[in-house]
Amino acid sequence: MFIDETTDFELTAERLLWGKLANAGQTCLAPDYILCSITTETQLLMAIQKTLVKFYPMKTGDPTNSYKDLGRIVNVSHFRRLNSALERSHGTVSIGGKRDETTLFFQPTVVGMLL
């Protein structure tokens, strides 16, 4: 998906997060990546952060207790696979990244990469 500066960033963020977070991202239409300019990235990240708070308001300062409506990773093996993929990525965590193996919690995470 390519997003340019003419988009409605808040509406785009809502649709992206709905598609990605519905059923814990386990849907055929879940977006896996976005292409955009650096300028667009800044605006989109702000809209995504705002939308995450709107969809899943934090009730405490601890993200692992704040997203009660989000599904957990199905088992430890899959949690470790995702954790390893995030640690090996060549990108920078722009949003989220908190995780807890004991509860199989993986906060919604956005990783930015320059291509």
pLDDT per residue rounded down to tens, the chain (115 residues)? 899 999 999 999 999 999 888 877 777 888 889 999 988 999 999 999 999 888 877 665 555 566 666 778 889 999 999 999 999 988 899 998 888 899 898 888 899 887 7
Q: Cβ neighbours of residue 62 under 8 Å, at least 6 residues apart?
A: none
Measured CA to CA, the distance from residue 18 to residue 13 in angstroms comes to 8
Measured CA to CA, the distance from residue 96 to residue 93 in angstroms comes to 7
Domain boundaries, given as residue ranges, for the chain: 1-55, 69-115
Catalytic member of 28, 29, 38, 114: 28
36 is catalytic: no
Residue 57 Cα distances to 50, 52, 71, 81, 97, angstroms: 10, 7, 15, 27, 17
